[in-house]
Amino acid sequence: MVLPAKDKVADIVRACRLIRRMTEAQPGHLKSRLLYYDMLIRYFTRILRARENGDFIAAHSVFFPAEVLYAMGLVPMHTESTTWMISLFPGECADMISEGASLGLAAEICTPHRGLAGAYSLRALPRPDVMLWSNMVCDNTAKCGELIMEVCGCPGFFLDRPFKNSEREIAYLAGELEDMVRFLEERSGRRMDWENLAATVARMDEQIELVRRINELRKHVPTPFSPLGFLELVSVDYLFPGQPEAIEYLKTLYGELEERVAQGRGALPEERFRLMTLFIPPMYLMNFLEDISRQYGAVSVIEPFFTYWGEGRLDPSRPLESVARKSYLIPEMRMYGPLDSRAIDGIVKCARDYRVDGAIYYADVGCRHSCAVIKLFKDVLNEMDIPVLVLDCDVVDPTATSKEEMKAKFEQFFELLEDR
Please give the average pLDDT of every successive group of 10 residues along the chain, which has 420 residues: 61 95 94 98 97 96 95 96 87 82 78 85 92 84 84 95 92 97 98 98 98 98 95 96 98 98 96 96 90 96 96 96 96 82 92 98 84 91 97 86 91 94
Contact 177, 323 (CB under 8 A): yes
- The residues, any chain, with a CB within 8 Å of residue 327's CB and separated by 6 or more, are 63, 65, 136, 161, 173, 333
Output the pLDDT for position 194: 98
66: in domain: yes
Domain that holds residue 216: 195-419
- Residues 41-57: b if buried by 16+ CB within 10 A, e if exposed: bebbbbbbbbeeeebbb
Q: What is the rounded CA–CA span in Å between residue 48 and residue 38?
A: 15
Contact 72, 273 (CB under 8 A): no
Ramachandran sector of residue 312 (left: φ over 0; alpha: ψ -120 to 50; beta: rest): left
Contact 101, 362 (CB under 8 A): no
User: 126 and 250 share a domain?
Assistant: no
Angle at 259 between CA 256 and CA 263, to 5 degrees: 140
Output the pLDDT for position 6: 47
Task: Tell me which DSSP letter residue 41 carries.
Answer: H
Angle at 276 between CA 362 and CA 209, to 5 degrees: 115
User: In CATH, what number is assigned to the domain containing residue 131?
Assistant: 3.40.50.11890
Question: Taking Cα atoms as reference points, which of 142, 129, 124 lies closest to residue 62?
Answer: 142
Output the pLDDT for position 115: 83
User: In CATH, what number is assigned to the domain containing residue 302?
Assistant: 3.40.50.11900
1: in domain: no
Contact 64, 160 (CB under 8 A): no
Burial class for 230, CB neighbours closer than 10 Å (0-12, 13-18, 19+): buried
Output the pLDDT for position 4: 43
pTM over 0.85: yes
Output the pLDDT for position 211: 98
User: 382 and 292 share a domain?
Assistant: yes
User: 355 and 252 share a domain?
Assistant: yes
Output the pLDDT for position 1: 40
How many separate domains does the chain show? 2
Q: Tell me the angle at which helices 139-152 and 79-88 cross, rounded to the nearest 10 degrees.
A: 90
Count of Cβ atoms closer than 10 Å to residue 285 Cβ: 20
3-state SS, residue 235: helix
Sheet holding 388-393: strands in order across?
298-302, 273-278, 358-364, 388-393
User: 211 and 188 share a domain?
Assistant: no
207: in domain: yes
Output the pLDDT for position 113: 81
Q: What is the rounded CA–CA span in Å between residue 267 and residue 251?
A: 18
User: Could you say which of 177, 192, 207 is where a domain stops?
Assistant: 192
User: 232 and 153 share a domain?
Assistant: no
Strand boundaries in 287-382, DSSP class E: 298-302, 358-364
Instruction: List beta partners, residue 319.
Output: none
Output the pLDDT for position 241: 97
2: in domain: no
Q: What is the rounded CA–CA span in Å between residue 385 and residue 223?
A: 21
Burial class for 161, CB neighbours closer than 10 Å (0-12, 13-18, 19+): buried
Output the pLDDT for position 340: 79
Question: Taking Cα atoms as reference points, which of 386, 380, 394 lies closest to residue 279?
Answer: 394
